[in-house]
Amino acid sequence: MFLSSKSLILCFAAIICINEAKLLGSNFGRPHKLIPRHYDDTKAFDSIEGTFENKVDHFNSFNKNTYKQRYWQNSRNYKAGGPIFLMVGGEAGENSYWTDSLDLTWNVEAKRHGAMLFNLEHRFYGASQPVNDMSGKNLKLLSSSQALADAVSFIEGMNKKFNYPNGTKWISFGGSYSGALSAWLREMYPEVVYGAVASSAPLTAVVDFYDYLSVVQNSLTAFNAKCGSDLKSALSQVRELTKTKSGQKQIKHIFGLCQNWSEFNKNDIDYFWLLLFNSYKTIVQYSGININDYRTVRTIDNLCAWHLRSTHTPIENIQAAVKWVKQINGEDECTAIRVQRNVNAVSRNGRSWSDNDAWFWQTCNEFGFFQAADRPEIKDFWGDVVSIDYFTKSCEESFGSLTTNSTIYNSVKKTNTQYGGAAQFRGTRVILPNGLVDPWHSLGVLKATNSQNYPLLIKGTSHCEDMYPASQSDPASLTDARHQLSQHLDEWLSLPK
């Protein structure tokens, strides 16, 4: 009754497991900007795909190796002397969608300002692979610091290649993790990037991101208090069913599990709960954004409709809600719960490296973002069912001695020291839109940290919603946020108001 392995790859905390003997990087609650499901990159309109010879290691002068980093360029709107807009790639392979789609916010702004567009793929994602051997020493080349240095080198390379005039203004853009990179690019390299737009950017790293589930709960309850209370009751009743053999048999039927509950070990049970929660997290994170069917079908309204049925029990309502999520994802098979977290590695078993593996490494070694449910602040609603240990042990068992419980916490602390976190973000001339329905907004800059960064808090909107095409059905708060974004860009780029 849950998202299948294929669907989970598109979704979201990060765990690595072997499901049905196949390694998967299943990232629950992953911060990720979306593209249309059936986007055909082979039918690019004006974009040109290219590769840039970038350094494998920017911080080791003895390493002279380079790799081909993929990018897309679109000069459709460019006017000589105009600004350059750079979409910083995030935790997935890129394509021509961002440079070709005319109605995206940054494309609209590019037309207004006569801007050149570039989209740069993140190292270790998609086709931009710096190394072939994913050994421990090479995995350490996958970091936000290296990605930022890639972007700086790319900007300098494009300035030289196209002989852009001195004083050309580069404005970085990004959403979700790539939004954080956009903000950090301006913060760390202000002499290279003139300004930045960082949509839904999680700028604070945290090991136990329990507040994600707190926002999901609050968003459902804000829509309708009964929706939240009915789900809370349903989860409580499911927990009670797990305590008896007869109840466990009911769980198999209710959620369409392939195996009997008695076959599950502790890791399997934790995974079951993560899958169950994910049905709600995915909808809330993207509810209402104007792409695919998130504006009309995959919405909090439609999810809560199942929990507002007064003629059905909470258990019947959660069963129907999860079944509905599975149906809209095109899944009709039973749900297999089989977790073997002994991959020591991702890189050592001859299997190809995936985007999910790359993101899992980054969460274990830089960001955390693990969404446990055992904190006092949320366990009354979600239940004390998945601890933070589940995630940290996933890191340890997947990457061996490279990641231990202490290194995970120390790495997250280092990330916040390096960039300042949201509370001490030092970037200037940065626009920071955040949808308040989006669970990731709690890690973003919600109050200006200096006189030259501009948080835009957008009521009633979700993850990266400001980046997508405008619509007559947009809430007034979103229309106003886009207007403010335009005003700031006008000021930066010296256009008449």
Catalytic residues: 176, 438, 463
Contacts of 372 (CB under 8 A, 6+ apart): 208, 210, 386, 387, 388, 390, 391
Contacts of 263 (CB under 8 A, 6+ apart): none
Residue 379 burial class via C-beta count within 10 angstroms: exposed 0-12, middle 13-18, buried 19 and up: middle
Contacts of 352 (CB under 8 A, 6+ apart): none
Question: Pairing between strand 84-88 and 116-120?
Answer: parallel
Instruction: Give the per-residue SS3 of the chain.
Output: CCCCHHHHHHCCCCEEEEECCEEEEECCCCCCCCCCCCCCHHHCCCCEEEEEEEECCCCCCCCCCEEEEEEEEECCCCCCCCCEEEEECCCCCCCCHHHHCCCCHHHHHHHHHCCEEEEECCCCECCECCCCCCCHHHHCCCCHHHHHHHHHHHHHHHHHHHCCCCCCCEEEEEECHHHHHHHHHHHHCCCCCCEEEEECCCCCCEEECCHHHHHHHHHHHHHCHHHHHHHHHHHHHHHHHCCCHHHHHHHHHHHCECCCHHHCCHHHHHHHHHHHHHHHHHHHHHCCCCCCCCCCCCCHHHHHHHHCCCCCCHHHHHHHHHHHHHHHCCCCCCECCCCCCCCCCCCCCCCCCCHHHHHHHHHHHHHEEECCCCCCCCHHHHCCCCCHHHHHHHHHHHHHHHCCHHHHHHHHHHHHHHHCCCCCCCCCCEEEEEECCCHHHHHCCCCCCCCCEEEEEECCCCCCHHHCCCCCCCCHHHHHHHHHHHHHHHHHCCCCC
Contacts of 468 (CB under 8 A, 6+ apart): 104, 105, 289, 290, 291
